[in-house]
Amino acid sequence: MNRFEANLLSRIRHRGDGLGNHRVVVACSGGGDSTALLALLVSLRGSLSLELSIAHADHQLRADAHDDSHFVRELARHFDLDLAEARLDVVAHADKQHLGLETAARELRWAWLRREATSCGADLIATGHTLEDHTETVFLRLSRGGGVGSLTPLPPRQSHRWSPLIEARREELREYLRNEGLPWREDGSNLDGFTPRNRWRTLLPALREESPALDQHLWETHLQVRELSELRDRTVEGWRGTRWNLDDGKLPAVWLNAETWREDELRWVLEAAFRHLGWAREAALLRDLSGWAVFHLAGHGRHHRFGHWALDPHKDEPLHWCLHPLGTVTK
């Protein structure tokens, strides 16, 4: 085990990625990140007690995509691992669902990867997300109004997805491959400006020139925000059943006790409730809605309206209010 592999093993163990006797499907496009991911996991599988297989998806978006597929087949033979392949009709899916190509490709790819993981009994799907991917996603989500959640977009573990390289730099991975004598494929479309991520990818080098430690600083911010978010979530869940509750039946709503609420407390509750109910959670909406609701929760029992939202008193329990979108009928 060389120093880079040992450092990665130490990071995985320090983070507590929740591994042990797992079967892992390694998503491999043949690019530098996923090829390094595959090689590193092969090196560490004994130390981490992993059983590996490879999954490769051809999105049929580039003329040379078949060369990528051939390259991944050679990797599978080189490492003596099982390989699952799929050809995904991304263009047809994008047209049918009115999606951009990037979103359509991600939807189809992940649907297939989950099916493949289930069919082979895998616990995890390993992806080659890097520290730069994390930074790009932060800026993407911030630019779309993603709020504080924008700062924790790519945790190492999220359900079945595992990104062991999330703290590694792309150039580090390519240097590792060069030292190991392993080739990789370059996807020229990563530099095309037709996706928002690619456009951010071309803007970020100038920011890194100004702040060379930009990516590391954002990752440290990610860790701090995640800790604070977990504390907030535990607090909000502790209030459930006393200060607030959900009705997630046919006519979903959020039930709130009529008491003294701070706006930030109510905003935390609404974010948790809306997430559970699948409602939009734009930061501006939650801020406006919580400020309006705090004012009226301390008032007398009467109906209130705010845009497309309603706040109604419970007909049998005067100290309880129901927040719901207009058009739903409350109990």
Q: Quick one: 219 and 245 in the same domain?
A: no
Residues 91 and 129 in one domain: yes
Of 223, 249, 265, the residue that ends a domain is 223
The residues, any chain, with a CB within 8 Å of residue 212's CB and separated by 6 or more, are none
Mean pLDDT of 94-98: 92
Distance CA 218, CA 12 (A): 19
Beta strands at 304-306 and 309-313: parallel, antiparallel or unpaired: antiparallel
Is the pLDDT at 329 greater than 50, yes or no? no
Q: In terms of domains, do 113 and 250 share one? A: no
Q: 258 is in which domain, residue-wise?
A: 240-325
234 located within any domain: no
Q: Are residues 78 and 178 in the same domain?
A: yes
> Is there a single domain that holds both residue 14 and residue 74?
yes
- H/E stretch holding 202 reads helix 196-210
What is the per-residue pLDDT for 192? 65
Predicted model pTM: 0.82
Band of the pLDDT at 120, cuts 50, 70, 90? Answer: very high
Same domain, 274 and 207: no
Per the domain annotation, does 10 fall within a domain?
yes
Greater confidence (283 vs 49) lies with 49
Out of 223, 254, 275, a domain closes at 223
261 within some domain: yes
Q: Are residues 32 and 171 in the same domain?
A: yes
Q: What is the pLDDT of residue 331?
A: 39
Residue 199 lies in a domain: yes
On whether residue 308 sits in a domain, the answer given is yes
Q: Are residues 134 and 276 in the same domain?
A: no
Residue type for position 39: A
**Into how many domains does the chain fold?**
2
Query: Does the pLDDT value for residue 135 go beyond 70?
Result: yes
Domain boundary among 196, 223, 250: 223
Is residue 192 a part of any domain in this protein? Answer: yes
* DSSP line for 216-239: HHHHHHHHHHHHHHHHHHHHHHHH
Q: Are residue 140 and residue 73 in the same domain, yes or no?
A: yes
Based on the fold, state whether residues 287 and 216 are members of the same structural domain.
Answer: no
Angle between helices 170-180 and 3-15 (to 10 degrees): 140
Please check whether residue 230 lies inside any domain of the structure: no
* 173-223: pLDDT as tens digits: 999 999 999 999 987 666 665 678 889 999 999 999 999 999 999 999 999
Q: Which residues contact 92 (CB under 8 A, 6 or more apart)?
A: none
Do 305 and 189 have their domain in common? Answer: no
Per-residue pLDDT at 330: 41
Instruction: Say whether both 164 and 291 belong to one domain.
Output: no
In a domain? residue 121 = yes
- The H or E element that residue 255 is part of is strand 253-257
Mean pLDDT over 113-140 rounds to 95
Least confident residue range of 7-11, 79-83, 316-320: 316-320
CATH number, domain of 183, equals 3.40.50.620
Phi, psi for residue 61 in degrees, rounded to 5: -110, -15
User: Averaged over 131-135, what is the pLDDT?
Assistant: 96
Determine what percent of the chain is predicted with pLDDT higher than 70.
Answer: 94
